[in-house]
Structure 1
Amino acid sequence: MTLRRRGEKATISIQEHMAIDVCPGPIRPIKQISDYFPRFPRGLPPDAELRAAAPPDAPARPAAASAGRRSPSDGARDDDEDVDQLFGAYGASPGPSPGPSPARPPAKPPEDEPDADGYESDDCTALGTLDFSLLYDQENNALHCTISKAKGLKPMDHNGLADPYVKLHLLPGASKANKLRTKTLRNTLNPTWNETLTYYGITDEDMIRKTLRISVCDEDKFRHNEFIGETRVPLKKLKANHTKTFSICLEKQLPVDKTEDKSLEERGRILISLKYSSQKQGLLVGIVRCAHLAAMDANGYSDPYVKTYLKPDVDKKSKHKTAVKKKTLNPEFNEEFCYEIKHGDLAKKTLEVTVWDYDIGKSNDFIGGVVLGINAKGERLKHWFDCLKNKDKRIERWHTLTNELPGAVLSD
């Protein structure tokens, strides 16, 4: 109690009054306002006390060199400890004597959750996944590509969605005819196409050395379409006449070899049927279709048609011509021409087939050609002799167009 002088009225200080009312017994000092501001308490630094209270395997915290170097979170933690000591000292809780609170384990960061449309930030799925299947039909020389669906595509538009489509490209090859695409699906990151795209005129040689590039893009009406992701499949991984299913993560765009020369093969392919008819006493030449033709017009397409000659042609009556197919690099003709000739004379003949691009007001452009007959080689020679050996049987073969045709007049 406070000592009083003689003649003064006995008084008790407010501190003594609060100590008696709140905590009877030994009088402890009342917390001052300054105690609630961040500062080092007396004794060991708080880091040392926390290290002493922390489990042995807890990582050590570097001690602060000065109060100015502490982060705001450190200051807030010291304030909480002082408040805990205050309430413990004055009977707010019946627990043991106050002391430094044990170090709390660091809070685990919340796990990344995919967005409503399935977009994830993981490296493998940052661009999305694509499901598709491939089938090489060896008998019909066709490669069927079924694009099933994509999931978790990267958002490309301001609304957090995309307008995706899939584009196919056979490599090597710069021709526009080597590229196919699906329809565009609007405002989705999880599109389902279930669409089959087919390359015709694919040979066993193509399956060994070519690669299929599959790209997913976002269509934009007011600017260039945007690339999302791609994958590449070497065709040699496929087994003839067996469907192979893929489910892959899209990758960033890979560079395409710009130095590859435009091979003669890029003039295109043509499917020709041959049959010697005993009934008509003549050779039936069928022009079925072309594929992957070279683009000759400024719009990236051609207006192709096909001409056939059976040489030598003394009377110059062996020329036949198909109809013109507008704005296409993969035309279907399905036209057949008959040359009246004895079967025995075919061994001395040569069939020349040329493909042209029709132009109005100027000369037509030569796209490519092929020669079948006794002077041909490889598949062209084999096709001719198979026809001679199998009367009344239609035999179809795909042939690669060349940009030079010996003995042909390269104008129309």
Structure 2
Amino acid sequence: MEEISLSPVTGEGGSADQNCALELDGHRILTHSPSVPTLGSKSLSGSMMSLFSTGEVKSLEVQGWIQFSLQYDSPRKELRVLVIQCRDLTAAHNQRSNPYVKCYLLPDKSSQGKRKTGVKKKTLDPLFNDTLKYKLEQSELQCRVLNLSVWHRGLLGRNLFLGEVELDLESWDWNQIQPAWYNLQPRTPLSPDILCRRGRLSLAIMFTSPGEGGSSLPPLGELHIWVKEAQHLVPLKAGTVSSFVKCCVLPDDSPSSHQRTRVMSRSLQPMYNHTMVYDGFREGDLAEACAEFTVWDQGTLSSRLLGGVRLSTGQGSSYGVPVSWMDSTEEEKSFWGSVIKRAGNWTEVVLPLRQNLTPR
């Protein structure tokens, strides 16, 4: 492997390019080199592993920096994460640590999605020069968050967390290929916006008001649904997905309420182009209902949930009864409100699939 020249980390009193931590109203503000894009509010911390393994319970203060670069090789369809070095890490034992770096492309936190560098013994300034590789289409990276965490390899599997950095690849500038320094950050709770990002679902929905469809007595409305496609699906393990979409309109959870699309084989951008109709709606029923869409990966023996969307007013109850499935996000509630207001017209949306659907 070609050696990378080491760029220094400027100490106290150094240039404006150095990484630093500031104190503001009691909160620690972490910054990074201005030579790379700002992380922004979407970059949130959260390692996929526990802080410590079974055995000694020990929490270490996070400090130091990590230097790495990103590059996407289009001909090989390969993401390359070059982990170069760390500086000024926290000492885990006898003024030294045995550091290594672990990598995930969130929300994939499976063992197949984990990559690791080698372990460097008894140092707080490890030099790695290790390239971690992922085989995937560049379009798939739009829904991924790069998580690089630094760990101390202890005895008997007692690995200790030393800090991490996360980059939202949706906004990453792929022309930026030069190595950059990032300040290691303490762990904070994972954001549902990151953990639950499994792709997007494209829908169009139209509600026909009672009486519009004919002279039925009493007049009843219909909900017309067009499931168009899914975009940038994130598989549960390496490879592609054979997916289908299942739909029901709650509170009716009877078998006759469930409809589904056909299975689209081995695609992360499946085109379902499937329409379905639900009837029997009176005036005001949609405000009490929830249209639930779930995307499934069809396996040999069973299907596994990739994520879902719930369209409702999000009021927490249906016909005066508290229900768990009225848990729509603001974006989902806004779209459902548009469907109700624009009766007789198609309303289109592309919504993120989420994994945090409250069990019903």
Fold match, TM over 0.5? no
- By relative contact order (CA 8 Å, sep 6+), the higher-ranking structure is 2
Question: Which is richer in helix?
Answer: 1
Question: Which is richer in strand?
Answer: 2
Question: TM-score when scaled to structure 1?
Answer: 0.39
Question: TM-score when scaled to structure 2?
Answer: 0.44
Structure with higher Rg: it is 1
